[in-house]
Amino acid sequence: MLQPDCEPIMQTIQSLEQQTLEIDNRIGTHVAEAMRLNPLQFIVSQRMIDHLIGAKHALQDEWDNAMNEFAICRWDYAVYHHFDRSL
């Protein structure tokens, strides 16, 4: 069971995961379409793919930070309740 204070962080993590999956799907679609284009159109499409990859990397950085916050939240909760029970 999640600690109440950690729930918003977990919701953020889940949202970031969903956004990353959506970007992955868009990248896959653009790559499939780009393979059917002439070279000039391919270059334009490649720029869009590069932009999406950059957005995905930014989301992954946010996800990493959120996971760190989640780990700290769980640790703080465990330490607090461990000492609370031992008193």
Q: Report, as an integer, the average pLDDT of 55-81.
A: 89
Is residue 42 packed enough to be buried (19+ CB in 10 Å), middle (13-18) or exposed (0-12)? middle
Q: Which residue range forms the structural domain that includes residue 47?
A: 8-86
Number of structural domains, the chain? 1
- Residue 26 burial (CB < 10 Å; 0-12/13-18/19+)? middle
Residue 2 resides in a domain: no
User: Is position 68 within any domain?
Assistant: yes
Task: Tell me the whole-structure pTM to 2 decimals.
Answer: 0.77
pLDDT in tens, 16-63: 999 999 999 999 999 999 889 888 888 889 999 999 999 999 999 999
Whether 58 maps to a domain, the answer reads yes
| Structural domain includes residue 48 | yes
Residue 57: inside a domain: yes
72 located within any domain: yes
By residue count, the chain amounts to: 87
Cα diameter, the chain: 72
Residue 1 domain-assigned (yes or no): no
3 occurs within a structural domain: no
